[in-house]
Amino acid sequence: MYSCQKQRTIQTKWLIGVSSRAIYLFLIKIRKKTVLVLSDVQSEKQSYLSFYFRVVIDISRNIIEGNSTNALLTTKFCTRCNDGEIIYHRGYSGEYLCRSCFLFSIEDKAKRCINKYSMLNYQDKVAVAVSGGKDSLSLLYLLNKIYGNRDYLTITAVTIDEGIPGYRDEGLKIAKDFCSEIGVENQVLKFSDTFGVEMEEVLSKRPSEKISSCSFCGTFRRRAIDLVSESIGASIIATGHNLDDQLQTFFINLLSGDVDRIGWIYPEPVEYGKNNIKKIKPLVEIYEQELVFYALQRGIPFQSEECPHSNESIRTDLRNFLNTLEIDRPGIKYNAYNSAVKISKSLKMDTSKSQTRRKCLVCNRDSSSPICSVCKNLKLLSDDKPDKNNN
């Protein structure tokens, strides 16, 4: 078993079940120009692999050790152009793609999704929510590539600093440097400036550890993105949610009994807020794994370190469960996503007939209940409870 070190990448723990020889051959095949530092790892179960290395392992699993081994040996060229050297196997479609066809397919999928759901219009000002991760930076790159030179559409990156020590600083720097490199303005808003509290303080003040950090962070981050987008006069907020994210959200709402919220995940944008901003997800029909590979092939830098609090959410369990299913049954996530879209569309139509726009009684912003989730969370944090870290 090997670990691969890259100068920028922070190494993370990952359990892999694929032979080192297969990984090594595949790495050489797709990254001939990349210098890799290989070293033995004492324990396979505690192996530390860079984010880049572990993603390539996932991608290579079906090609080298899966059922498609014989097909790879007989398929010499890209099944789309019948010319380029194969670097990627798309399990759910059976395609073997060269670099050019793979990159084109990702960008074409995003453009088709934008057109299908009428996500962008003439003279829109787009605020792209950028965290420093592979999804948001790939989205920013893609939108800038397609629309960056158009006079009728402007793009600004907006980044939220939640105040998570040892994690957020890397993402902020990567986002700032990448925006500077491609010539896109980057606006940053801090939790502390908006809500008077950072995430570390939130965790110490939450009334119970049963309330996950994600429930606070996600709620505050969405509001912060809205606020900074409104401040720059944006008409569109674009987020990097991918197919995996959308599918996980569907199951989270289903398992928690929030049936009405399932209607909210339908990809067609809806106007909300005092400025009638629309939120769009152009990458929602693309697998997370493919976006990682896209970022690597495009040379897009991204934060490798996962949020230290991500395991508190059921989302991680669902991600692992769905990825495990996908390995043995390629395309099952895509089928499940299409089913989720049909269900969410039906529920959206039903709820839109009976639902009226409400305003939060505290902050006067759009809300599905008398008090919005942001104000509820702020109330929980402001209640006079002892700091658990001082007990």
Give backbone dihedrals phi and psi of 56, rounded to 5 degrees, phi first: -65, -35
Q: Is 189 left (phi over 0), alpha (psi -120 to 50) or beta?
A: beta
- Continuous H helices in 257-366: 259-262, 288-298, 314-328, 332-354
> Quick one: CA dihedral 349, 351, 353, 355, positive or negative?
negative
CATH for 117-284+293-353 is 3.40.50.620
Nearest to 287 by CA among 92, 97, 101: 92
The pLDDT tens digits for 328-369 are 899 999 999 999 999 999 988 776 655 667 899 999 998 888
Q: What pLDDT is stored for residue 8 in this prediction?
A: 31
Whether the CB-CB separation of 135 and 240 falls below 8 Å is answered with: yes
Average pLDDT score over the chain: 80
| pLDDT > 70 fraction of the chain, expressed in percent and rounded | 77
> What pTM value is reported for the model?
0.81
Distance CA 315, CA 263 (A): 19
Range in 94-108, 170-184, 213-227, 261-275 with the lowest mean pLDDT:
261-275
Q: What pLDDT is stored for residue 241 in this prediction?
A: 96
Give backbone dihedrals phi and psi of 37, rounded to 5 degrees, phi first: -105, 110
Map residue 133 onto helix, strand or coil: coil
The pLDDT tens digits for 110-169 are 999 999 999 999 889 999 999 999 999 999 999 999 988 788 899 999 999 998 888 888
Whether the CB-CB separation of 230 and 277 falls below 8 Å is answered with: yes
Q: Residue ranges per domain, the chain? A: 2-74, 77-114, 117-284+293-353
Q: Residue 59 contacts by C-beta under 8 Å, 6 or more apart in sequence?
A: 26, 88, 89, 289, 293
Whether the CB-CB separation of 29 and 68 falls below 8 Å is answered with: no
Nearest to 314 by CA among 391, 237, 258: 258
Average pLDDT over residues 262-285: 90
